[in-house]
Structure 1
Amino acid sequence: MIIGVIGSVVPALPGSSLVLIAILLWGLVVGFGKIGVALGVAIAVLVISTAVDFLATFWGAKKAGVSRWGQIGAMVGLVAVLFGLLPPALVVGGPIIGLLIGPFLGAFIGEFLYRRNLKQALKAAVAVVASSLIGNLIQGILALGAVIVFLITTWSSVMG
């Protein structure tokens, strides 16, 4: 579950899914009757986190005036890093930084190709990455909340 909370904050890792899987595994071990509330919360967190991931990036980009080209470029940059088509920035700070650089470069290139304006392209790239990071922070808080609910609702069965 801790890895799931960390994964919720780190871009492109399935954090909320890992929390849900951990709760399901616990249910297999101790029985699902004792994890009903925690399981429901974890499923809700997964659904909400998915929506937050999409909406944070979309609203942040829209608020900054990022074009579809910039948004598509950010997605292409992320996919390029995930599939190893761009170096994961190992020299600069490891794969996590690469997951930020890919969307940044993609948004920058896409926006520049569309607008031919360096300042607007840079603004778009920063907005895409910043809104994505804000979304990841919200997802981390949600995942942590699911873990806390799990601990509260199962504490008595663990500690006797």
Structure 2
Amino acid sequence: MTVLYWLLVAVMVLGVIGAVVPAIPGTSLIVAAIVIWGVIHGFGTVTVPLVVAIGVLVVSMGVDFLASFWGAQRFGASKWGQIGAVVGLLLGFFGLLPALPFGGPLLGILIGPLLGAIVGELIYRRDFVVAVKAGIGIVVGSLIGNLIQGLLALGAVIVFLVTTWPLGAVT
């Protein structure tokens, strides 16, 4: 059981990384690992961590939306900039941006929303300075949201470790 326990903890650590880095599943990996542990050892052993992880999953979705919205509002982005950021994120995610000599899809996911927001704002306002400012605002908000999600995910993993340590680490 010790090997399984540490394997599930490794999956949870990947989930924490995924909460911060776009395109990697985040909190859902943590929930899945806790469910697997619950199936094997009974859900009575993971009730608290499972409730915490599901709560973190729900709150993370809200944080992601609110942080991006806050960044957009704070830096003066319009709906066109927000739509452009989403389109840019999708294009970057699927690798449809012009090829970059370094960074690969991860860089595309980071640059895509910025470029998309700038293009959206340029279509709407035709003012390059305002467009760049709005694009940066959306990206800053998104990055802040990702950091908050990472901290929440880390908290869920810590709750799991604290509540299951005697059962998982030494058997």
TM-score scaled by structure 2? 0.88
1:113 aligned onto 2:123: yes
**Count of aligned residue pairs for this structure pair:** 159
Task: Give distance in 2, aligned partners of 1:121 and 1:8.
Answer: 28
Conserved in 2, the CA contact under 8 Å of 1:81 and 1:87?
no
2:56 to 25, 45, 53: 45
SS at match of 2:62: helix
Aligned position for 1:11: 22
Aligned position for 2:96: 85
SS at match of 1:84: coil
The letter for the 2-side match of 1:114 is Y
1:21 aligned onto 2:32: yes
1:18-65 CA-to-partner distances (Å, cap 9, x unmatched) read: 111111111112211100000000000000000000000011101111
Task: Give distance in 1, aligned partners of 2:133 and 2:71.
Answer: 11
Task: Give distance in 1, aligned partners of 2:23 and 2:99.
Answer: 13
Shift of 1:149: 0.1
The letter for the 2-side match of 1:56 is A
Aligned position for 2:145: 135
1:151 aligned onto 2:157: no
TM-score scaled by structure 1? 0.94
User: Could you list the runs of 5+ residues in structure 1 that have no partner in the other structure?
Assistant: none
User: Could you list the runs of 5+ residues in structure 2 that have no partner in the other structure?
Assistant: 1-11
* Identical counterparts, % of pairs: 60
Task: Give distance in 1, aligned partners of 2:92 and 2:128.
Answer: 23
